[in-house]
Amino acid sequence: MPEITKEQKEKILKRLFWDIDIDPDTLDLLNKDSGDLEDYREVNFYRRLLMSCDWYTLLKLIPSKKLKILLSDEVIKGIFPKDLKDNYLYAQRFLSK
C-alpha cells in the first residue's frame, strides 16, 4: 500500500478531529515506537480513528507495527455501534493468528 505524506495525514486528522485543535504531538502518536497505551487521550485518539475511518484509510495512517495497539481490548471496548465493535474484534482475532 502506498505511503501517504505527512501533509495528507494532517489533512485526514483535521477532518476527523474537526471539533478539537490538532497539535503536532497528535500526529506523532501515529509514529511513536512505544508499545503501550499511555493515557486516556491516546486511547480516545485511536478509538476515534476506528469509528471514523474505513479500514484502508487506517492502514495508510497507521504503521503496521501499531495495528496491535490500535486493535487492543482497551481501545475496542469503547467503540459503538456494536456491529462496528464486533468487526474490529474479528479483525483483532484474525490478525493475532
Q: Tell whether the torsion through CA atoms of 71, 74, 75 and 76 is positive or negative.
A: positive
In-domain check, residue 1: no
What is the model's pTM?
0.86
Is 91 among the domain residues? yes
The Cβ of residue 87 has, within 10 Å, a number of other Cβ atoms equal to 14
Quick one: which of 23, 13, 33, 29 has its CA closest to 75? 29
Give the 3-state secondary structure of residue 37. coil
65 lies in some domain: yes
The answer to the question of residue 76 being in a domain is: yes
State the total domains in the chain. 1
* Domain hosting residue 33, numbered range: 6-95
Q: Phi-psi bin for 38: left (phi > 0), alpha (psi -120 to 50), beta?
A: alpha
12: in domain: yes
Q: What is the pLDDT of residues 3-59, one digit of tens each?
A: 788 889 888 888 888 888 777 777 778 777 666 787 888 899 899 999 999 999 999
Distances (CA, A) of 37 to 2, 11, 52, 54, 64: 27, 24, 20, 22, 16
